[in-house]
Structure 1
Amino acid sequence: MSRPTATAFEAEVTAIEDLSPTFRRLTLSGPGMEGFGIDHHPQDLRFKLIIPPGGGEPVFDLPAFLADHEDPALSWYQAWLQIDENLRGFMRTYTVREWRDAERELIVDMVLHASTTGDGGPAGDWAANAEIGSRLHVIGPARDAPRGRGGIEFVPGAAEHLLLVGDETAVPAIASILDSLSHPPYRSGALTGEVVLEVPDARDILEISGPPGIDVSWHVRDGHDHGVLMSAAVRRSLQHAPGVTDAPAELDDIDIDAQILWDVPRALSSAARSSTATTPSTERPFYAWIAGEAGAVKEIRRYLVRDVGIDRRQVAFMGYWRKGRAEG
């Protein structure tokens, strides 16, 4: 009999900080988060927020639902989808910006999406209207659960030249990854690389920095099509990246309107895995982590793998969202 791998917690908003027109930082805590836990740096760890229907308080007992789910023929997620959304709410995926274990506080930076109609969707609307004391459910790791690396896609192995690319939806994950690079197992001064961030407004440029050797550049969309600026920046950055073969390779096509673009190989090439501190930098292939709007990510994926010939085992591509389509 299968048991759900997810654990649900009731969280309360205990602090709110508007970082910019696009980013709103929420601190989620409260008695219901006592069982939540991460015993390592979160890096780009994903978790789920269950947005209450109508933007109000949770009306569905999600923790009890997950604890009671025992149908071997139906996953808990499939069973959850069968419940009226006006009761269960809406599930959205976010990355942990920071976890403060002693305080039992989960920090999440939420993007306030805005369409031409002014509708930011359930998550954006909820974030924009959240107040101290607002409640919702969180699905994430339990502090007493067996530890693993589930939900983390940043796996650079021994590669020491990094390329991190993302739009505003990936900024929180990249900021967390950059913070992790200053902690073991990464060696101070051993890494080089570039971070390319694309945001809609100049006021969205945040104080984010990496360790020495990692350069961070911001690109303000300001009317340009989504992904154009970060794609151009990637092409410029590869002129200086070690391990680039410039040998075109075959690449399967993905219909991003019908499929999720999520290509996250967890093994680097043998050259990267076997490199050491004494290996010349030109022999250490770089590792790339690309996330954001699926159309933009797909274009960069095509360029890196098909046009330039970078080993797919050295690149993680993630379509966090798709223009015109809601998650789920």
Structure 2
Amino acid sequence: MAARRAFTTHPLVLRRVTVRRVIDVTPRMRRVVLGGEQLGAFARDGMDHPAFAAPGFDDHVKLILASDGDVRAALPAQLPHGIEWTPAENRLTRDYTPRRVDPAAGEVDLDFVTHGDGPAAAWARAARVGDELWFVGPKSSLRLPERPDWILLAGDETALPAIGRFLDERPVDAPAHVLVTVADDAARQKLALREGDTVRWVLAEPGDAAALEAAVRAVPLPAGEGYAWAAAESRALLPVRRYLGRECGMPKERLNITGYWHREEAAAPAETPEAPTGGEAAPVPSPVPWLVTRAALRLGLVDAVADAPGVALDALTGRLGVPAPRIGVLLPLLAAHGVVVGGPDGLRLGPAGEELLDDHAREEYAGHEAELLLSLAELAPALLGGGSPWQRASGATLHDTVVRDAERYGELVEECEQLAFLLNGLTADPLWAGVETCLLTGPGSAAVVAALDDSGRRPRLRIAEDEVPAAALRAYVAAPERIDWTGGPADVAVAAKALAHRTDDEAAALLTRLAAWAPTAVLVEASRPDGLSPHAAEAALHAYAATGSPLRDSPALAALAHRTGWHVDHVIALGWGTEATVLRRS
């Protein structure tokens, strides 16, 4: 865990551009040159917005399309300092890398692989001069390590815009070793290579994991501290991630492996469920595969097979300390769902198992959210008798649990890193006028410190947390020695995601505590589901499992404030369903 952020954030602005030129770079790649006033600084609906900036070679903008052609109905709401993704059933979004950015000409180039049948490829094939396109972003730019000895750039055709831009602009002065898989020799492009660079083109079908892995393994990695960047179909990258990270031992901060697209696999006929008819609902899925996968992760079974592909069952049982008959209980279901598969040469990871080597993928089964999901076994008793499912399942509130568990609290702090994209609206608010001292609490405190630093505001900082949370936050804060790590008087107190793991009574106790320290308090909390999230419908249930209360909206927060001697002064919409509620003492 490093305090230095690996990215630079940018203001999120919805922009309209039009097609200026269309160029077929290859028979499989179309470049659409876009331009317009909104690439510069502009005003819309009374709000001033900065000029477009995408300094990173692999920055992404989010294109907004519509399944029914009504793009205006699919657009998000623009906030003064962010975006609110309001619900829109017709909205389609796709991420694309700017191939060229020319502020002087007011132009940005986007390259589209045109052989696919997705909505963005279809739009590019039909694009004509004058057509409009709306997009948001980029939200951040990657910070490359200083002075790497070499850099590996690998991917399929979709990675070519980022690879080409890197070679054109050279954000770091290091030899580049380029590997690109293409489905046709016609997809090859001229690249701006320098002395010391290497390039290899490999013919392979899109999403061919074996071909991509073999090609990456064939690249001789030079001595010294390098940096590896790869982009392709998400599952095709899994063995590449395992090879570079596990076998080559490259540290996480020297790896950036990103799934640019996801291939939908057609289910075998025998596995395809009958489609519901007559308005019938789809069957409720069984939790058994999830529980078995969770057990395999917790036992270390997935990692053990990843470290020794082809391992025999008896060797595996000896390594895990679990008798073979007990492991045998799991293996049929693990095989059925592609986690661990067996054969004449022993046990190997299946496609789903390869995915679980990614830390983000395994969080669904082994992290804080998984523990919260398990507490829903107590949902019915909690609904009948009150209290949170978490407290009924564990015997303690979630707050009491996380403040005593460094690993769990660290997970909350990592989740709050997403606040980096939302806090511009808070730091720009007039409430900071005259603020000399700011007190922080909650797992989002590190994100608030970074946002204040980025905004140029330099109040004296103090963080009021118990010993375990304070230790977790120290690992994420730049220059922790400048912070007073005790509670005390302040001009403003910011509670950043501090209520999300507290019951109403615990939240009230925190607000009462803050009232003794500051005349103004700010609550940064998710108050509504994020309209862009595929799990928006579950947001209220997750909140209830954690605290015994649904997702606290503005009226609920106002009621808590009134209960503890505060009143709501104003509310700052930050985007993605998150708000900053500014309280004053009554």
Report the TM-score when normalising by structure 1.
Answer: 0.68
Q: 1:69 to 1:33 in 2, by over 3 A?
A: closer
What is the match of residue 323 of structure 1?
A: 263
- Label 1:18 to 1:321 Cα distance change in 2 as closer, same or farther (>3 A): same
Q: 1:69 to 1:32 in 2, by over 3 A?
A: closer
Q: Which residue of 2 aligns with 1:90?
A: 92
Deviation digits for residues 289-316 of structure 1 (CA, Å, limit 9, x no counterpart): 1111111111100111122322222111
CA shift, 1:23, in A, is: 0.8
Query: What residue number does 2:148 align with?
Result: 159
**Letter of the aligned partner of 2:131 in structure 1?**
S
- Does the 8 A contact of 2:54 with 2:141 survive in 1? no
Determine whether 1:33 maps to 2:39. Answer: yes
SS at match of 1:216: strand
The counterpart of 1:59, out of the listed 72, 75, 78, is 72
Q: Do the aligned partners of residues 323 and 91 (structure 1) sit closer, same or farther apart at CA in structure 2, a change above 3 Å counting?
A: same
Cα pair distance change 1:111/1:126, threshold 3 Å: same
Please give the secondary structure, in 1, of the residue aligned with 2:62.
strand
2:17 matched to 1:21? no
Match for residue 43 of structure 1 among 52, 57, 64:
57
Mapped to 2, the partners of 1:135 and 1:174 lie a distance apart of 27
- Aligned partner of 1:207: which letter? K
Q: 1:151 to 1:133 in 2, by over 3 A?
A: same
Name the CA distance, whole Å, in 1 between partners of 2:137 and 2:191.
Answer: 25
Instruction: Give the alignment partner of residue 101 of structure 1, picking from 100, 103, 112.
Output: 103
Q: Quick one: distance in 2 between partners of 1:303 and 1:61?
A: 41
1:19 alignment partner, SS class: strand
Task: Determine if the alignment matches structure 1 residue 287 to structure 2 residue 227.
Answer: yes
CA distance in 2: counterparts of 1:304 and 1:316, whole angstroms:
11
Letter in 2 for 1:62: L
Shift of 1:38: 4.9
- Name the TM-score, length of structure 2 as normaliser: 0.40
- Write the letter of the residue equivalent to 2:75: L
Tell me: CA distance 1:122–1:133, structure 2 relative to 1, closer, same or farther (3 Å). same
Aligned residue identity for 1:176:
R
Shift of 1:17: 0.5
* Residue 237 (structure 1) aligned with residue 219 (structure 2): yes
Question: Residue 30 of structure 2 aligns to a residue in which SS?
Answer: strand
CA distance in structure 1 between the partners assigned to 2:62 and 2:207 by the alignment: 29
Q: Is the 8 A contact 2:159 2:231 kept in 1?
A: yes
- Aligned pair in 2 of structure 1 residues 308, 210: CA closer, same or farther (>3 Å)? same
Deviation at residue 22 of structure 1 after TM alignment? 2.0
Matches within 5 A, 1:41-190: 41-54=55-68, 56=69, 58-60=71-73, 62=75, 65-67=77-79, 76-77=84-85, 79=86, 82-85=87-90, 89-114=91-116, 120-140=117-137, 150-153=139-142, 155-181=144-170, 186-187=172-173
Match for residue 199 of structure 2?
216
How many angstroms does 1:228 deviate by?
Answer: 3.1
Partner secondary structure for residue 31 of structure 2: strand
Corresponding residue for residue 261 of structure 1: none
User: Contact (CA 8 Å) 2:96, 2:110: kept in 1 or not?
Assistant: yes
Stretches of structure 1 lacking an aligned partner (at least 5 in a row): 115-119, 142-149, 243-283
1:49–1:91 contact (8 Å) kept in structure 2:
yes
- Number of residues of Structure 1 aligned to a counterpart in Structure 2: 250
Q: Which structure has the bigger radius of gyration?
A: 2
Cα distance in 2 between the residues matched to 1:105 and 1:93: 18
Q: Which amino acid aligns with 1:214?
A: D
Superposed displacement of residue 158, structure 1: 2.0
1:208-243 Cα offsets, whole Å, 9 max, x none, are: 13332111221122x5862333322211213x421x
- Deviation per CA, 1:163-222: give whole Å up to 9, x if none: 1111111110111111121x6xx44xxx2241101111111101113332111221122x
Cα deviation digits, residues 66-90 of structure 1 (max 9, x gap): 13799xxxx723x2xx2221xxx31
Q: How much does 1:138 deviate?
A: 1.6
Q: Distance in 1 between matches of 2:79 and 2:129?
A: 28
Contact 2:150 2:227 in 1 (8 A): yes
Unpaired runs of at least 5, structure 2: 1-9, 42-49, 266-531, 535-586
Tell me if 1:228 matches 2:210: yes
* Mapped contact 2:207–2:232 kept (Cα < 8 A): no
Q: Which amino acid aligns with 1:60?
A: A
Name the SS for the 1:207 alignment partner. Answer: coil
Q: Between Structure 1 and Structure 2, which shows a larger proportion of helix residues?
A: 2
Partners of 2:98 and 2:79 lie apart in 1 by 24
CA contact (8 A) 1:289 1:317 kept: yes
Shift of 1:285: 1.2
Identity within the alignment, %: 29
Name the Cα RMSD after superposition: 2.8
Cα displacement string for residues 115-165 of structure 1 (whole angstroms, at most 9, x for unaligned residues): xxxxx1211111111111111202126xxxxxxxx5323613221211111
